[in-house]
Structure 1
Amino acid sequence: MSGKTCVVGTENVLMDLGFDDAAELSAKAALAIKFNQLIDKRGLSQSEAADITGLTQPKVSQIRRYKLLNISLERLMRALVSLDQRVEIIVQPARRAQAPGITVAA
């Protein structure tokens, strides 16, 4: 045996890395992935995406590169709505099987 230990993580790598805002960062990433998929599917330039979403071209560029620190969840949700998407927020009590937190399914 090599003596190496294996640490079992959670389903959230950002939480495993110790980010205090791991849930929010994961939600932002999921929304940004969907945003980028829509931009790619429509073949939009960053400028065209900015015109449609009301974001500036530099903000679109940030999202395209997943630089999400200065992008709010609300802004990402509004951008998706402007791309003809329906964004739903569901609030429900946490159960034992599901810890309190933020989950985004895109």
Structure 2
Amino acid sequence: MTRKDYPQGTDNVLLDLGFDNAEELSVKAALAFKLNELVSQRSLTQAEVASITGMTQPKVSQVRRYKLQNISLERLMQALVSLGQHVEINVEPASNANATGITVAA
């Protein structure tokens, strides 16, 4: 059996799969994950989440299913704030150790 050479992957599976907007999708997924985690912990219904966040129930349903194409980063951040979270954005120069890009720690 011969060993095949495969390209080295990155930390971003969406980028590895060839998505043009992989970085944005990864950030949205991280924010949606945190939002979904809060909703589950609090046992909130989609209607309750919609009322608290100002989103429509269908938008909440999209977030719950990680269908994030039509939901902005800003909307996800505002929803987290509505659920009592502090969202912080830091902008700093990229160093050799930290490549340019966007990172979310949730």
TM-score (norm 1): 0.95
Deviation of the 1:3 alpha carbon: 3.4
| Root mean square deviation of aligned Cα | 1.0
* 2:46 is the alignment partner of 1:46: yes
In the alignment, what sits opposite 1:71?
Answer: 71
Distance in 2 separating the partners of 1:4 and 1:19: 24
In the alignment, what sits opposite 1:9?
Answer: 9
Percent identical residues: 68
In the alignment, what sits opposite 1:84?
Answer: 84
Distance in 2 separating the partners of 1:36 and 1:63: 8
In the alignment, what sits opposite 1:32?
Answer: 32
Deviation of the 1:105 alpha carbon: 0.5
In the alignment, what sits opposite 2:103?
Answer: 103
Distance in 1 separating the partners of 2:3 and 2:86: 50
Divergent runs of 4+, >4 A? none
